[in-house]
A = this chain, B = another copy of it.
Amino acid sequence: MIDEELALSGERFRAVYRLHGPAAEAEARARAIALEQTVEFPDALLPGTAIRAQVVGRITDIRPIDAERTDVAIDYAVETAGRELTQLLNVLFGNVALQPGVRLVGLTLSPTLAAHYRGPRFGIAGLRARLDVHGRPLLCTALKPMGLSPAALADLAYRLALGGIDLIKDDHGLADQPFCPFDERVRRCAEAVQRAADETGRASLYLPNVTAPAAEIPGRARVAKAVGAGGLLFCPGLVGLDAMRTLADDDDLALLILSHPALLGGLAVGAHAGIAPGLLYGGLGRLAGADAVIFPSYGGRFALTPEQCRDIAGGCAAPWAGLAPAWPVPAGGMTLDRVPELVDFYGRDCILLIGGDLHADDDLGARCRAFRRLVGGGVD
């Protein structure tokens, strides 16, 4: 059963794990991870020497961060992940995700591996060109609350587009409920946003939520395309990052992908486990084809720190694996009065997502226009 004929390329990609615990234990823990994520087999029992030399992860750096944390870098053979995002995630973090005190904080792809991933189709430059909006953040809002009929949501979409909102997405809670069927909602909302654009001469994009049972995702995306939606909202935490990649890579669709963090963000909540927010949102989301990545900003209803949010924005923008930069979309209870601060923090290449606060008084149009003025984009 000895496979000495194994002859891998020697090309490796790198994962960095932050270990919480005594520095003296870091090396042994790193060795355990290098086995766990590949052969899942005791080192002493490995048959022959080829697997140990070529398949088992290789520890390439051990670096104390502070008294309680040590970063360990492990290099994995590209062949272990093959050409599959699912298997890349599995090697990176499949089993160690179940261990407290281990946090995935870094990923460096190698050329062969990076070549499997197209990443954002539009990204920052592509979306700016499509909307012909330059030099300011983009404005985004959600169609809600759940419970409105398709006609009511379409009316709302129309007024938001008239008000100058660039991206109008379904709330991520709008699926295919009996009180708001997908087909009718998407058809009405797409038509309403187009009607507003025809009146104003300004483009807005409507992005329906196509998160759905596995077999229904392609059909919903096709409906969205057929009625003229400008992009898709997708929750990779509910359906898998690879399902998002599949949509993003579909040249027949060629639609903008806006990623929503539902459930997925649960992997970023722990201080010492899970996946660092900068990598989860800015890295893996982009790798899976998101042109724009919604995340819970500091100062809202969720719990990320400014430093973590800076990491996310940095992860979206940094040169990485040859992928186009994606838009960071800070969200989760953002309000108009914070727009100047948010622009100052995130810069101009971000999409500001404000939901409920746009409805804080009866004049939705006035609040949309105020939102637009706050980012330096006038509305005639």
**Chain A residues engaging chain B, CB cutoff 8 angstroms:** 1, 3, 5-6, 8, 32, 36-42, 45-47, 50-51, 54-55, 79-80, 82-87, 89-91, 93-95, 97-100, 142, 144-149, 152, 155-156, 171-173, 175-179, 211-215, 217, 235, 237-240, 242-243, 245-246, 261-270, 273-275, 296, 301-303, 332, 355-356, 359-360
Contact = CB atoms under 8 A, between A and B. Distances in A.
B86 A149 contact: no
Contact of A269 (B98, B215, B242): B98
Contact of A80 (B3, B50, B177, B274): B177
A268 B274 CA distance: 10
Contacts of A238: 86, 89-90, 94, 240, 242
Given A84-B176, A269-B273, A100 B303 contact: yes
Given A85-B213, A94-B235, A50 B303 contact: no
A266 B79 CA distance: 25
Contact of A89 (B40, B79, B84, B263): B263
Contacts of A41: 144-145, 355-356, 359
A97 B360 CA distance: 26
A26 to B, nearest CB: 17
The 4 nearest A-B residue pairs measured at CB: A94-B262, A97-B266, A39-B145, A51-B147
Contacts of A148: 1, 3, 47, 51
A87 B39 contact: no
Contacts of A37: 173
